[in-house]
């Protein structure tokens, strides 16, 4: 599904990613965790083309980043910081993005609008949206488009409890339909409850990629994470 080989990225004299290797299988809900500054967002930005890595290869469904348009249609990315056109309604923006992906699943779209309780807000200008509403809009777009993989940077930021519950249900349905999810998070308990696999990033490398089921048989994700960070728990 998503394969990263020898990914390296630095800023000036500071090396962020040091030969990162990661293979995400189809159907995984992978939680990407690490300390602040570990390189989670840099990794996501390299995958999605926001940044160019210094070295390494990335493919999704066997499609290389060099096949630009085909590659970009393999995923939908929801960043932590969402830039918007303030005077455009959420609905108009959603329909515009759907056209980019040649998607006409209006019934699917309406279903997600209802699940995230955006029936009224969707027709208002995005400049009036709260941070949480913007996140809900992006989630609606991503799951409506239904690409092979959805990539998210802290997707639960700003969501109220009902929206978090909707997110969990939609993620499960999306994976059951054949999708794959890859998201970064600082919330280890959420990763443990939602994800079926977890990858821990430290020192610019993946130091663990394991099924959550195998982790919780022996320990909690939180205690394992602290152990890997050499923090007394």
124 is written with which tokens? Answer: 């208002």
Q: Is 175 a domain residue?
A: yes
pLDDT at site 37: 86
pLDDT at site 176: 95
pLDDT at site 228: 77
pLDDT at site 231: 60
Distance CA 81, CA 143 (A): 19
Mean pLDDT score across all residues of the chain: 93
Query: The domain spanning residue 205 has which CATH number?
Result: 3.40.50.300
Average pLDDT value for residue range 124-148:
96
Distance CA 68, CA 94 (A): 22
Task: Give how far the C-alpha of residue 15 lies from the chain's centroid of Cα atoms, to the nearest Å.
Answer: 23
H or E element that contains 5: strand 2-11
Q: Print the domain residue range for 79.
A: 2-228
Distance CA 165, CA 163 (A): 5
Would strands 75-78 and 149-153 be described as parallel, antiparallel, or unpaired?
parallel
Q: Is 28 a domain residue?
A: yes
Coil, strand or helix at 59: strand
Q: Is 233 a domain residue?
A: no
66 is written with which tokens? Answer: 């060099």
Distance CA 202, CA 33 (A): 9
The residues that bridge with 199 in the sheet, in sequence order, are 32, 209
pLDDT at site 169: 95
125 is written with which tokens? Answer: 């200008």
User: Which of 136, 104, 102 lies closest to 117 in space, CA to CA?
Assistant: 136
- Whether residue 123 contacts residue 164, with contact meaning beta carbons closer than 8 Å, is answered with no
45-102 confidence digits (pLDDT tens): 999 999 999 999 999 999 999 899 999 999 999 999 998 899 999 999 999 999 999 9
Average pLDDT value for residue range 219-228:
82
Q: Is 54 a domain residue?
A: yes
Distance CA 89, CA 87 (A): 7
Average pLDDT value for residue range 193-221:
91
Q: Is 95 a domain residue?
A: yes
pLDDT reading at 36 higher than 90:
no
Work out the number of other CB atoms within 10 angstroms of the CB of residue 173: 11
Q: Is 167 a domain residue?
A: yes
Distance CA 182, CA 195 (A): 9
pLDDT at site 189: 86
Q: Is 139 a domain residue?
A: yes
Residue with the two structure tokens 């930005």:
45
User: Which of 92, 23, 17, 7 lies closest to 60 in space, CA to CA?
Assistant: 23
Give percent above pLDDT 90 in the chain: 80
194-207 confidence digits (pLDDT tens): 999 999 999 899 99
Number of domains in the chain: 1
Q: Is 62 a domain residue?
A: yes
Distance CA 225, CA 136 (A): 29
- Whether residue 143 contacts residue 172, with contact meaning beta carbons closer than 8 Å, is answered with no
């Amino acid at each position: 599904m998503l394969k990263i080989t020898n990914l390296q990225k630095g800023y000036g004299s500071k090396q962020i990613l040091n030969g990162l290797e990661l293979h995400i299988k189809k159907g995984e809900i992978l939680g990407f965790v690490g300390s602040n500054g570990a390189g989670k967002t840099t990794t996501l930005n390299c995958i999605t083309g926001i940044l160019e890595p210094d070295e390494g290869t990335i493919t999704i469904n066997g499609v290389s980043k060099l096949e630009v348009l085909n590659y970009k249609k393999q995923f939908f990315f929801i960043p932590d910081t969402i830039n918007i056109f303030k005077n455009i309604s959420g609905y108009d923006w959603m329909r515009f993005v759907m056209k980019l992906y040649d998607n006409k699943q209006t019934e699917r779209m309406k279903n997600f609008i209802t699940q995230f309780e955006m029936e009224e807000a969707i027709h208002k200008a995005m400049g009036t949206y709260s941070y949480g509403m913007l996140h809900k809009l992006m989630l609606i777009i991503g799951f409506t488009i239904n690409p092979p993989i959805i990539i998210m940077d802290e997707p639960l930021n700003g969501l109220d409890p009902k929206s978090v519950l909707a997110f969990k249900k939609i993620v499960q349905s999306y994976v059951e339909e054949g999708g794959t999810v890859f998201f970064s998070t600082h919330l280890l308990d959420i990763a443990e409850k939602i994800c079926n696999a977890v990858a821990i990033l430290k020192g610019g490398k993946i130091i663990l990629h394991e099924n959550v089921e195998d982790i919780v048989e022996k320990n909690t994700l939180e205690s394992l994470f602290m152990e890997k960070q050499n923090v007394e728990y």
